[in-house]
Amino acid sequence: MKYRVPKREFEFVLREVLEVEQLTQFPIFEEATWEMVQMIIDQVAEIAEDIWFPGNQLGDQVGAKFKDGEVTLPPEFHDAINAIRDTGLVTLFAHPEYGGMGFPTAFEVLGDEVMCATNMALATMTGLTKGAYRCIHQYGSDELKSLYLPKMVSGEWFSTMCLTEAHCGTDLGLLRTKAKPDDEGSYRLDGEKIFITGGEHDLTENILHLTLARLPGAPQGVKGISLFLVPKFIPNADGALGERNGIRALSIEEKMGCKGSPTCVIALEDARGWLIGEENRGLRAMFAMMNHERLAVGMEGVGVAEIAYQNGLAYALDRLQGRDLGGGRYPEQEADPLIVHPDIRRMLLRAKSLIEGMRCLAVWTGISIDHSLADPDEAIREENGELVEILTPIVKALCTDLGCEITNDMLQIYGGHGYIREHGMEQFVRDLRIAPIWEGTNGIQALDLAGRKLPRDMGRLLRRFFHPALEFVEQHRDDPDLKEFVEPFAKGLRGLQKTSMFLAQKGMGNPREIGAGATDYLRQFGLVALGYMWLQMLKVAFAKRGSDEFYEYKLITGRYFFERVFPETIARAVAIASGAKTMMAMPDAGFAGDHRFSGN
C-alpha cells in the first residue's frame, strides 16, 4: 500500500479553478495566503503519509479493545493524534478567541480528504469534534464556550454525537432518553444510546457527548427534543477535570470496517448535562453539527476513493497479464501490464474523472460556506448559504456512493489479490461502506433534496445552482475550445430542469412520486453538478494548454467524463419519468414470492 497527497491537484482546484485566494479579502481569512496554505499542506502531507497512514492497517487488525467499560486504542493512534496536536493542526479552523487560526472551510475539506484517505477510523473522531465545536460555538452559552471550546481546539478533549437509540435511527421523534432540570442549573439525563462513534477511548482525557433528550412535558415528536452537553468528566471552573459523570460505555460493536474507531453502546444514569440552545429546539442546534459532518462524510468518499485509485493504478502499471488487444505493447516482456487493457482503463479513467470532479465540488461548497459567513454583503451571504443547503446532501450522498463504486472497481483491478487481506484493498471497501449509511443515510439525503430543498419557496434554492450554470452556458456556447463540452452539459442541465419540474408537479398530488424518484434525482443532479465543475476545470486547462502536460491530461480526463460518465443523466431522467406506479404496485406479500415469512 502507498499514498501520496495529491498536492498538484489541490493547487489546481484551489488556486487555478476556484481562485480561493480571493477569500483573503475578508479580514477573518486574511492570513490564509497561498504561501501559508502551501506550508500547511506540506505539513499535513508529512504527518498523513508518515504517521497516520502506517497505523491504518494496524487499527483494522488490532482494532479497539473494550474491557470493564474502558476502551483502548493502538499506540500508533496516540502517535497520530499527538502529531496533529504538537504541530497545531487541530487549531486551524477554530476561531482565534478560542485558540484557533480561523482558516477557511475550503481548506478544511481537503484536510478531511487527506486524513480520511490515510486513516478513516481515526478521522471520524477528529471530525466529530470539529462538528461539535461548531454546534457549541453557534448555540452554546458564553459559559459553555469559554469552558469547553479551548480544550476542544487544543485537541485535549474530543466529542461525540449521541442521537441514535435501539428503536429509532432516522426517526428521532421516537427517542426515549429523558432529561430533567436539577437544582444546580444543569439537567439530569437517563437513557441509552447506540452506534456512538468514539463514545469511549483513551486518546483524550475527556469526552464531550452532545446528547438529544426529551424534557418533562415536551411536545411529542421532533418538536420536543432538546440538546445537552454531557461530559465524561465534569470540569471545574478552571477547566481541570472533576468528578466522573454518570455516562459510560456498555459495549462496543463488532463491525464490518473502521475497526479502529470504537462504536459504543452508551448508558446515561443520572448524568449531568448542560442545555445547548433553547429547550425543545435541539434538532436545530444539532443540525449545525450534522451539516458539517455531512460535508466531512462526503470527503470520506473522496479520500478513500483517492487512495484506492492510487493503489489500483500502481497495480495496473506493474502487474503483467495478457497482451494488448491491438498487438503486444511490450514484446520484450512475457506479457503486457494490466493498464493496456480497455476495461482496466475504463475503471481507472472513470475513477480519475469522478474523483477530480467530486473534489472540485466539495471545495466549491466549502468556498460557498466561507462566503456565507464572511462576505460583507448580506445578499451574497444569503445566496451562498442557500447554495450550500442544496449542495450539502449532494456532496454527502454522491461522493460516498461514487466513492464506494470506485473503491470496488480498484479492488477489481487487483482481481483475487484484491479480495485477500495481504494487499489492503479490501479494508478500503469495508471501511468506506459505512459512509453512505451514517449522518443520515443516502436515501434520506435524496429525500431531503427532492422533498424539502426542491419545492422550497417555489424552487428558490435550485436557482442558486441553475443560474450560474446557465450563465456559463450562455457565455461559452460558441467557445471553440469548450463547445464540445458545453453542448452536452446544456442538454443535461435542461434535462435536470425538466426532471425538477416533473417531481415538483407530481409530488404535490402524490408524495410517493418524490420518494420513488429521489435517489435517481440526486444522482442526476450530482452528475450535472460534476459536469459544471468539469467545465470550470476544462476552461483553465485550455487556457494553459501547452505549458504543462498536466493540462493536457485534464482535457483527456474531462473528455472521458462527458463522453462516458455524463450520459448517465439521461438514464436517471428516464427512470424518474416512469413515476411511482410500478414501484408501488407490488403488494408487501409479493416481495416474498414463493417464500413465506412468519414476521417473527
271 forms bridges with which residues in the sheet?
189
Q: CA 167 to CA 220: how far, in whole Å? A: 16
Q: How many CA atoms lie within 13 A of 313 on its CB side?
A: 15
Helices 342-374 and 378-414 pack at an angle, to 10 degrees, of 160
Q: CA 515 to CA 526: how far, in whole Å? A: 17
Residue among 410, 402, 169 at smallest CA distance from 298:
402
β-strands 226-231, 178-181 pairing: unpaired
142 contacts 191 by C-beta, under 8 angstroms = no
Residue with cell 495478457: 322
Residue among 458, 438, 444 at smallest CA distance from 514:
444
320 contacts 336 by C-beta, under 8 angstroms = yes
**Phi, psi dihedrals of residue 341, rounded to the nearest 5°:** -85, 130
**Coil, strand or helix at 232:** coil
* H or E stretch at 39: helix 34-47
189 contacts 182 by C-beta, under 8 angstroms = no
Amino acid in position 326? G
Q: How many CA atoms lie within 13 A of 197 on its CB side?
A: 23
Q: CA 479 to CA 485: how far, in whole Å? A: 10
Q: What does the CA dihedral 443, 286, 23, 148 come to, rounded to 10 degrees?
A: -140
439 a catalytic residue: yes
266 contacts 164 by C-beta, under 8 angstroms = no
395 contacts 217 by C-beta, under 8 angstroms = no
Spot the catalytic one: 165, 200, 300, 439: 439
Q: CA 75 to CA 44: how far, in whole Å? A: 20
303 contacts 116 by C-beta, under 8 angstroms = yes
Alpha-carbon distance values, 346 to 180, 565, 578 (Å): 59, 10, 30
Q: What does the CA dihedral 554, 557, 559, 561 come to, rounded to 10 degrees?
A: -130
Sign of the torsion formed by the C-alpha atoms of 88, 93, 94 and 95 = positive
Estimate to the nearest angstrom the gap between the alpha carbon of 549 and the chain centroid: 31
**Coil, strand or helix at 304:** helix
Q: CA 33 to CA 51: how far, in whole Å? A: 27
DSSP symbol at 397? H
Q: CA 465 to CA 93: how far, in whole Å? A: 27
66 forms bridges with which residues in the sheet?
71
Residues recognised as catalytic: 439
